[in-house]
Amino acid sequence: MDLASLIDDGLEVSIVGSFSRVGIALRRQLFGWEPLPDGALEGRTVLVTGPTSGLGRAATDALAALGARIVLVGRSAERLAAVRDALVARHGEDRFPIVVADMGSLDSVRDAVRRVEATEARLDVLIDNAGGIFPERHLSPDRIEATLAVLVVGPFVLVSGLLPLLRRTPGSRVISVTSGGMYSQKLDLDDLQSSGGPFSGSRAYARAKRAQTALVREWARRLRGTGITFCAMHPGWADTPGLAETLPGFYRAMRPLLRTPAEGADTIVWLAAEPAGAATSGALYLDRRPRPFDRVPATRLGAADRRRLWDAVVGLSGAPDPAPDGRAGRPAPEG
């Protein structure tokens, strides 16, 4: 192993060194990151959920600068229009269509799928970024706990619905934006909707993010050989409105070490624009390098657990399985 990789491994173990702005600064130097080439995404279409603030806005700005056509998906027509108008003013052309959708409502997500299918001839990249932490437990319009609905079931329905378009687009990829907080939580497959015991918004969020990354691994396994790459990434600790609002104590204590939104979004943009085949389908990335899915053995989800989670989410989606398991009836390897 080379020296740069040894230093990187040490940063990863330290957590603070890895997730803070220190980590991305050192890694940029250690691995000699080159700027992505101008026009790297010209002729490609990228869909971004949650593009109006934080990491989603930073990623959208960077992807637009690389020439992408960007489908902006969010809840607020007014905020989406403001982002579109700013991008048009900056780039001198309107390649930023708006789709108003609430990821917590399955009817709304399915309507978004229909609108994207009606207007887009290709979909090169789907970025699942929208999220939220809810201080109290409440249910979505589909009677699903809101955190699970927005972070897991809604995105699952979005990807499922757009699979035909992704299949038709050579080298397409799906990027799920997760959180390092998922390392701290074990997913309770018997209580995915956080109905047992006192509700904690941050705990429900971390568990939903763990479910999200487990589903990325299942998508990658089930669609192996289709040409679609499925990856997860986590941004480290970035200075975003969501962090300041939901974890104010952590935000105040760590603010000097927080990454900028652009630094947090860097790996999103790299995964979207890197050459086909450079990223491993089913992997989790931080700072352009694959990272472990688990830090604490007790939080680990094995292959059978991931299949069980998949089946549960399919059930909550109310739709047929978009990628039936070819290994059904046979034991799956753990890991």
Instruction: Give the residue numbers annotated as catalytic, written as ranges.
Output: 205
Q: Two tokens at 102?
A: 């609430």
Distance CA 233, CA 282 (A): 11
∠ CA 47-140-307 to the nearest 5 degrees?
A: 70
Can you say whether residue 34 is alpha, beta or left, with left for phi > 0 and alpha for psi between -120 and 50 degrees?
Answer: beta
Answer yes or no: are the C-beta atoms of 286 and 179 closer than 8 Å: no
Distance CA 123, CA 213 (A): 21
Exposed / middle / buried, residue 162 (Cβ in 10 Å: 0-12, 13-18, 19+): buried
Measured in whole angstroms, how far is the alpha carbon of residue 297 from the centre of its chain? Answer: 23
**Considering only CA atoms, which of 73, 77, 203 is closest in space to residue 127?**
73
Phi, psi of 95 (to 5 degrees): -125, 40
Answer yes or no: are the C-beta atoms of 209 and 179 closer than 8 Å: yes
How many other C-beta atoms lie within 10 A of the C-beta of residue 193?
18
